[in-house]
Each structure stands twice: as C-alpha cells, then as structure tokens.
C-alpha cells in the first residue's frame, strides 16, 4: 500500500451475521487487551473471514480498538495512581514507535504485509503460550522494592510501539515483559501502565491510518463499540477468568488466522 492521499472508505453493506460476529469479536478483543494483550488475534481473523483484505482488516481493526484501549486504561485508574510522570515519560517512546510502524505498514507493498503477518502471529502465539514462564522470569528478575524504574528500557518500549503500529497482536505481552523487568511494582500496576502505552500506540497509529489508509468504517465502529464493553467488563470481572482458557481461545483463533493468510 502506498501513501497516495486521504483515506478511502469501504461502504459495502454489512450483513447481520457480520454485525453480530464483529461486535462479539470486538467485545472479546477489548477484554483480552485489557487483561493481557493479543485481542487483535480475535478481531483480525474475523475481518479476514468476511473478505476484507489483510491490510484493510489490520488498519480497520486498529482504529476500532482505540476506544477499548481508552476504556481499559480508565478501568485501571486506581492502579495508575502515582504513575503519571512515568506514563508521560514512556508514552513518548511508544508514540514514536507507533508512528514508525504505521508508516512502514503504509509504504511497504501489500505483499510484504501478507508475508510478514503470519510470522508475527506465530510470535504472538508463542508469547501467549509461554506467558506463564515469562511471568515467572519477570518475577524472578524484578527490581527490589526501593527501585524507581530508572532503568526502564525505553528502546524496548519504542520497538514494542513499532510492532504495535505495524500489526499489534501481543504488543501487550511484550510491554508487560519490558515493564515488568524494569519496574518494582506489582503486576496489576504494571498492567495498568501497559494499557496506557498500548492505547498510545493504537491511537497514534489510528491517526496515521485515518489520514491516508483505506478504513472499513462499519466494522471499525462495531469493534469500537464491542471493545469498550469488553474492556469495562474485563476491568471489573476479568481477574476471575481462567488464564489457561483465555490462552486456548487466543491460540485457536491465531492458528485460524495463519491458515487464512497462507491458503
């Protein structure tokens, strides 16, 4: 896809089946993104299944998930208390990374995206599968309680932003690992900061896409509505969910996405 001008809009009718499936996928993605990350592995394959091209599905999905990111951050506002300076400091790195990734998506040919994304999804699935082991690694190497987070690898946050701007699945898991290794806080406070940074990435990338990319606004709106509901439900009830069941769903959907792309 080349940057050639303002966005084109997909106005084709959306069937009742699409409305239900896309809204439900958006709800699931909003919940998953708020709790962990990888919600794109739910919504992206659904858009592919309804015939949207991979790049259109990706940019529309990104735009649609922005309100859910905001809702997830608001849902964790208690855990964000005292983190304003830290969040502002590292949001800048996330924003730069997101802009870089979004531009790469738009200037590289569509064929490159189709070739790269199955690989990215595979990495995301491995991240989901090995997340418990990664959590233990993070816990073992977390700084002592008197640390102030001064060693937070901003370069890592930047590259997580590049990844999120280009595709985004499992950027939340990457951020949890980076922040967890750098900060002395508990997982819930780290997850709250992750939601803010992931929201910055999605928001910056969405601004780029709205300006110059082909957005399917009907599906994007359905994902947006669903993601807000899912994010609020996850912030309130999501800690009761089985992590193993959640990982199983993500892996199954992700494998379906790979199959859809390579066949």
Position 12 pLDDT exceeds 70: no
Q: Taking a C-beta distance cutoff of 8 angstroms, is the pair 187, 125 a contact?
A: no
User: Which structure tokens are listed for 143?
Assistant: 């700084």
Q: Look up the domain containing 215 and give its range.
A: 16-262
Q: Taking a C-beta distance cutoff of 8 angstroms, is the pair 211, 7 a contact?
A: yes
Residues 26-64 have pLDDT tens digits of 999 999 888 877 789 899 999 999 999 889 999 999 999
Angle, helix 54-75 to helix 110-129, in steps of 10 degrees = 40
What is residue 7's DSSP assignment?
Answer: P
7 in a structural domain: no
Rounded distance, CA 127 to CA 11, Å?
36
Query: Is residue 226 classed as helix, strand or coil in its secondary structure?
Result: helix
84 in a structural domain: yes
Would you state the pLDDT for residue 219? Answer: 94
2 in a structural domain: no
249 in a structural domain: yes
Q: Taking a C-beta distance cutoff of 8 angstroms, is the pair 105, 227 a contact?
A: no
Position 112 pLDDT exceeds 60: yes
Domain total of the chain: 1
How many other CB atoms sit within 10 Å of the CB of residue 233? 16
What is residue 146's DSSP assignment?
Answer: T
User: Which run of H or E residues covers position 80?
Assistant: none
Rounded distance, CA 100 to CA 17, Å?
35
1 in a structural domain: no
Q: Taking a C-beta distance cutoff of 8 angstroms, is the pair 28, 42 a contact?
A: yes
Residues 146-189 have pLDDT tens digits of 444 444 568 889 999 999 999 887 788 788 778 877 777 777 78
User: Which structure tokens are listed for 83?
Assistant: 């983190």
152 in a structural domain: yes
225 in a structural domain: yes
Residues 179-229 have pLDDT tens digits of 877 777 777 788 889 899 999 999 999 999 999 888 999 999 999 999 999
Helices (H), 183-216: 187-212
Q: Taking a C-beta distance cutoff of 8 angstroms, is the pair 89, 191 a contact?
A: no
204 in a structural domain: yes
User: Which structure tokens are listed for 17?
Assistant: 């089946």
């Amino acid at each position: 896809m080349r940057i050639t001008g303002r966005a084109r809009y997909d106005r084709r009718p959306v069937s009742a089946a699409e409305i239900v499936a896309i809204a439900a996928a958006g709800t699931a993605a909003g919940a998953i993104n708020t709790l962990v990350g990888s919600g794109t592995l739910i919504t992206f394959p659904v858009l592919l299944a309804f015939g949207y091209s991979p790049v259109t599905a990706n940019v529309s999905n990104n735009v649609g998930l922005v309100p859910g990111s905001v809702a997830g951050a608001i849902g964790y506002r208690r855990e964000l208390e005292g983190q304003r300076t830290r969040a502002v400091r590292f949001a800048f790195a996330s924003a730069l990374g997101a802009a870089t990734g979004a531009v790469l998506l738009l200037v590289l040919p569509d064929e490159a995206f189709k070739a790269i994304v199955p690989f990215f999804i595979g990495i995301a699935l491995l991240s989901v599968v090995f997340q418990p082991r990664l959590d233990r690694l993070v816990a073992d190497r977390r700084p002592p309680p008197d640390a102030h987070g001064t060693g937070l690898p901003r370069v890592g946050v930047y590259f997580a932003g590049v990844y999120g701007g280009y595709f985004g699945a499992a950027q939340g898991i990457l951020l949890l690992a980076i922040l967890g290794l750098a900060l002395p806080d508990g997982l819930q406070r780290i997850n709250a900061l992750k939601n803010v940074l992931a929201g910055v990435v999605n928001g910056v990338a969405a601004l780029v896409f709205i300006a110059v990319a082909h957005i399917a606004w009907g599906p994007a709106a359905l994902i947006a509505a669903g993601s807000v509901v899912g994010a609020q439900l996850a912030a309130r009830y999501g800690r009761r969910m089985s992590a193993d069941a959640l990982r199983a769903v993500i892996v199954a959907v992700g494998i379906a996405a790979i199959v859809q792309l390579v066949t």
